[in-house]
Amino acid sequence: MYQITCPHCGPRAQTEFTYERTTDSVVDPAGDAQTAMQALYTRANPMGLDDEIWRHTYGCRAWMVLTRHRVTHEITAVKAIGPEALP
């Protein structure tokens, strides 16, 4: 089992978190359907680092961006986003 370091709660089990999506799959709601379909279903699948959006669902419920290696699953950075990230 992996651990994720929540910016607010500290190290926690991965089971407390929910994976949402990669940051490159965020769709502009004002865009057309073709662009949305392409962003959601025709992404690259690189073997290196990727930025992913996660939520501490069973903890503080904060959103964060994890920089994670797709092969080794090593997390190299965690950054809070959303209202919780404001000072």
What tokens appear for 84 in the block? 């919780």
What tokens appear for 66 in the block? 């994890």
Class of the CATH domain delimited by 3-26+35-85 = alpha beta
Give the pLDDT confidence score for residue 13 in this predicted structure.
95
Domain ranges of the chain: 3-26+35-85
pLDDT tens over the chain, length 87 residues? 789 999 999 999 999 999 987 666 555 666 677 877 776 777 666 788 989 999 999 999 999 999 999 889 999 999 999 887 766
Chain-centre distance for alpha carbon 76: 13
Of 44, 17, 39, the C-alpha closest to 28 is 39
3 state DSSP class of 34: helix
Give the pLDDT confidence score for residue 76 in this predicted structure.
94
Give the pLDDT confidence score for residue 18 in this predicted structure.
93
10 dihedral zone (left: phi>0; alpha: psi -120 to 50; beta): left
